[in-house]
């Protein structure tokens, strides 16, 4: 694996270093509800501060439409970062305006500032290369070097991810290095048995990774909303459960290919079916081939894997040496439908080998269900980026750093 790392930048003492972090954390009423990505940025930031660099942090949060929106401000993130670093963190209420310019100019060696949400400027995500480049040039004026450490955005060709890396001497931060080392272990020569657990709502989001990983894995466990497209592809009725009719032929193709490769695709044998979508819904546990035979009939919808499936999945995971998990097993946000996801998470903590939580909703789920990061081999900070890596796609934010 070729990648420019921090060492390639030489001494950064007294230098201004723009760091692209991924501080896109959930914020409710001004309070961060999961600071995992903020904590994940600390090793790189501390390494730079300890060198005596003048650190300028840039990030996005949420999806504002190219203009300031108070609910997407990074100010709560800057405050949390200050608490975690145990040091003052300056915050600029703009990204490339007068306040940002003043905040950067005021930095002394070993000090840090956070600029406001990058996506408050339309140039950050623009499809127009000239507009994107112009924004990147304004950001580049704040630095002598650039460190890319937002793994969750390396699959995006955006101003602060791609163009900025071309404009300044650039390198990957420690977080990106760690993410790539783990992903390399999942793809290059994984220790076996190798199990991949896929869930989440849509099978279409996972088709690429299924196709790319089938020749590499021993077992593929399917849960979440996507499981119903698999059940329907096998001829089972699924009631009002989430279903992607247009993917049935593709799924049948993967089931056939798995048989040819000798890969086990394990589908749930039982399902938690609800009368409606809600925490107070009536529920019933039924076999996966009789979803419409509950009291709810064809209006019933599956919202979690059943207890037998949860136990079977947990046993397969615990017996594996390498496990990658992306996507909840059910609607974990609602307590009656969190059991399957919790069982998978618990089993992942018991893997005698490498157990990887693949970012996104999976990372949010394990923390919401009371698990801590250190219980797992690795929790990725980039769900989409991880999946695209595992699909074998080109990631522009890595290629610009010399990755090959």
Say if residues 113 and 55 touch (Cβ distance below 8 Å).
Answer: yes
Say if residues 213 and 390 touch (Cβ distance below 8 Å).
Answer: yes
CA separation for the pair 274, 282 (Å, rounded): 6
Q: 359 labelled as ligand-binding?
A: yes
Catalytic residue at 202?
yes
Q: Which of 360, 382, 383, 397 is catalytic?
A: 360
Catalytic residue at 223?
no
Q: 16 labelled as ligand-binding?
A: no
Q: 37 labelled as ligand-binding?
A: yes
- Per-residue H/E/C for the chain: CCCCEHHHHCCCCCCEEEEECCCCCCEECCEECCCHHHHHCHHHHHHHHHHCCEEEEECCCCCCCCCCCHHHCCHHHHHHHHHHHCCCCEEECCCCCHHHHHHHHHCCCCCEEEECCHHHCCCCCCCCHHHHHHHHHHHHCCCCEEEECCHHHCCCCCHHHHHHHHHCCEEECHHHHHHHHHHHHHHCCCCCCEEEEECCCCHHHCHHHHHHHCCCCCEEEECCCCHHHHHHHCCCCCCCCCCCHHHHHHHHHHHHHHHHHCCEEECCCEEEEECCCCCCCCEEEEECCCHHHCCCHHHCEEEEECHHHHHHHHHHHHCCCEEEEECCCCCCCCHHHCHHHHHHHHHHHCCCCEEEECCHHHHHHHHHCCCCHHHCCEECCCHHHHHHHHCCCCCHHHHCCCCC
Say if residues 132 and 123 touch (Cβ distance below 8 Å).
Answer: yes
Catalytic residue at 39?
no
Q: Which of 39, 138, 202, 257 is catalytic?
A: 202
Q: How many residues does the chain have?
A: 404
Q: Which of 37, 54, 232, 342 is catalytic?
A: 37
Q: Which of 52, 211, 384, 402 is catalytic?
A: 384
Q: 302 labelled as ligand-binding?
A: yes
Q: 361 labelled as ligand-binding?
A: yes
Q: 99 labelled as ligand-binding?
A: no
Q: 160 labelled as ligand-binding?
A: no
Q: 392 labelled as ligand-binding?
A: no
CA separation for the pair 161, 128 (Å, rounded): 15
Q: 333 labelled as ligand-binding?
A: yes
Q: 62 labelled as ligand-binding?
A: yes
Contacts (Cβ under 8 Å, ≥6 apart) of 93: 73, 75, 99, 116
Contacts (Cβ under 8 Å, ≥6 apart) of 204: 244, 247
Q: 394 labelled as ligand-binding?
A: no
Partners of 323 in beta bridges: 195, 355
Q: 156 labelled as ligand-binding?
A: yes
Catalytic residue at 264?
no
Q: 3 labelled as ligand-binding?
A: no
Q: 327 labelled as ligand-binding?
A: no
Tell me the binding residues for substrate: 22-24, 37, 60-63, 119, 156
The annotated binding site for ATP is made up of: 206, 302, 333, 359-362
Which residues define the annotated binding site? 22-24, 37, 60-63, 119, 156, 206, 302, 333, 359-362
Active-site residues: which are they? 37, 202, 360, 384
Residues within the annotated binding site for (2R)-3-phosphoglycerate? 37, 119, 156
């Amino acid at each position: 694996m070729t990648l420019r790392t921090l060492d390639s930048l030489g001494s950064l003492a007294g230098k201004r270093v723009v760091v692209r972090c991924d501080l896109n954390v959930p914020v409710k009423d001004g309070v961060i509800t999961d600071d995992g990505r903020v904590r994940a940025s600390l090793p790189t930031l501390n390494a730079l501060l300890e060198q005596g660099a003048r650190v300028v942090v840039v990030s996005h949060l949420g999806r504002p439409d190219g203009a300031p929106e108070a609910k997407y401000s990074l100010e709560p993130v800057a405050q949390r970062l200050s608490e975690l670093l145990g040091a003052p963190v300056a915050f600029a209420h703009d990204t490339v305006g007068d306040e940002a310019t003043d905040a950067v100019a005021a930095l002394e060696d070993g000090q840090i500032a956070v600029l406001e949400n990058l996506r408050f400027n339309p140039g950050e995500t623009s499809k127009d290369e000239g507009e994107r480049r112009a924004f990147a040039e304004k950001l580049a004026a704040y630095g002598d070097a650039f460190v890319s450490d937002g793994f969750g955005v390396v699959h995006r060709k955006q101003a602060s991810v791609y163009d900025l890396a071309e404009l300044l001497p650039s390198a990957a931060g420690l977080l990106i290095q760690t993410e790539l080392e783990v992903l390399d272990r999942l793809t290059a020569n994984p220790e076996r048995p190798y199990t991949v657990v896929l869930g989440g709502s849509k099978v279409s989001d996972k088709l690429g990774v299924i196709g790319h990983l089938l020749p590499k894995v021993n077992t593929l466990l399917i849960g979440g909303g996507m499981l119903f497209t698999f059940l329907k592809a096998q001829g089972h009725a699924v009631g009002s459960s989430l279903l992607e009719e247009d993917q049935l032929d593709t799924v049948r193709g993967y089931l056939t290919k798995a048989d040819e490769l000798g890969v086990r695709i394990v589908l749930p044998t039982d399902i938690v079916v609800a009368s409606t979508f809600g925490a107070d819904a009536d529920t019933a546990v039924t076999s996966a081939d009789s979803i419409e035979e509950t009291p709810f009939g064809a209006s019933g919808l599956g919202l979690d894997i059943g207890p037998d499936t949860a136990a079977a999945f947990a046993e397969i995971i615990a017996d594996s040496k390498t496990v990658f998990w992306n996507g909840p097993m059910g609607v974990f946000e609602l307590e009656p439908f969190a059991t399957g996801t919790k069982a998978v998470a618990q089993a992942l903590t018991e893997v005698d080998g490498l157990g990887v939580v693949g970012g996104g909703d999976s990372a949010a789920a394990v923390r919401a269900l009371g698990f801590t990061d250190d219980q797992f081999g690795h929790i990725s900070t980039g769900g989409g980026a991880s999946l695209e890596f595992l699909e074998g796609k080109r990631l522009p934010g890595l290629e610009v750093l010399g990755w090959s």
